[in-house]
Amino acid sequence: MKERGILAVVSGFSGAGKGTIMKGLMSRYDNYALSISATTREPREGEVHGREYFFVSEEEFEDMIREDRLIEYARYVDHYYGTPKDYVMSQMEAGKDVILEIEIQGALKVKEKFPETLLIFVAPPSAEELKRRLVNRGTETADVIDARMKRACEEAEQMDRYDYLLINDEIDRCVEELNGLIQGQHRRMTLQEGFVSQMKQELKNISE
C-alpha cells in the first residue's frame, strides 16, 4: 500500500516569493500536489480559473462554507480565501504530499485540525526587499501595496508559531531546503508510525 501523503502549509508575506518557490518545487519533483484555493478576489492578468484559483462570487463562497466543503477559510484584505476539502484529502490518500499556500489565520486553523501539519513561513531577506518586490510586481495599486505591507506587520507578530522559517534569498536553494523539510517530516512520521505499531505488537507478544 502506498504511504499516505503529508500536509505542509507554506505561508509568507505577500511578495515574499512563495509562488516562484512553489513553481520550482512542482517542476523538480513529482510527489507534490499543490492545493488550488477558492477566492472571491478578481483574477490578476494571466491568472486562469482552476489553475491559480477557483474564482467565485461571495454567494458561491458562502455556499461552500455552509456545505462544509472547505478545510479552512479566512478573510484577507477584503476577500475570502479558502481550501477545498475534497482535493486535499484525495491527494493525501493517493500518497501525494499536499502543499497549501495560504495565509496565517488559515494555517493556524489547519494545524489545529491536523496537528501533524508542517508549518513553513517564507520571508524575504529584509522588509526593504519585500516592498521592492511588491512594487516591481506591478500588478497592484499603491493602496493595495500599502494594505499588504500593513498586513505583513500583523503577520510578523505570528511568525514564531510556524515550525520553520525559510529565508528566500536564492530560489534554487530555497526549493531544495523546502523539499528537504517536507521529506524530513515524511521520514519522521513513517519512523514514528512504524515504531509505534511495532512496539505495540511486541508489548502484546511479551505480555501474553
Instruction: Tell me how far CA of residue 177 lies from CA of 21, 143, 166, in angstroms.
Output: 10, 34, 8
From 26, 34, 41, 145, residue interacting with ligand 5GP (rule: CB under 6 A):
41
Binding mask 65-104 for ligand 5GP (x = CB under 6 A): -------xxx-x----xxx-----------------xxx-
110, β-bridge pairs: none
Provide the minimum distance between the beta carbon of 84 and ligand 5GP in the complex, in angstroms, as a whole number: 8
The residue among 32 and 73 lying less far from ligand 5GP, judged by its C-beta, is: 73
Site for ligand 5GP, residues 6 to 35, rule: CB under 6 A: 14
If one asks whether residue 56 binds ligand 5GP (CB under 6 A), the answer comes out as no
Q: Which stretches of the chain bind ligand 5GP, using CB under 6 A?
A: 14, 37, 41, 72-74, 76, 81-83, 101-103, 105-106
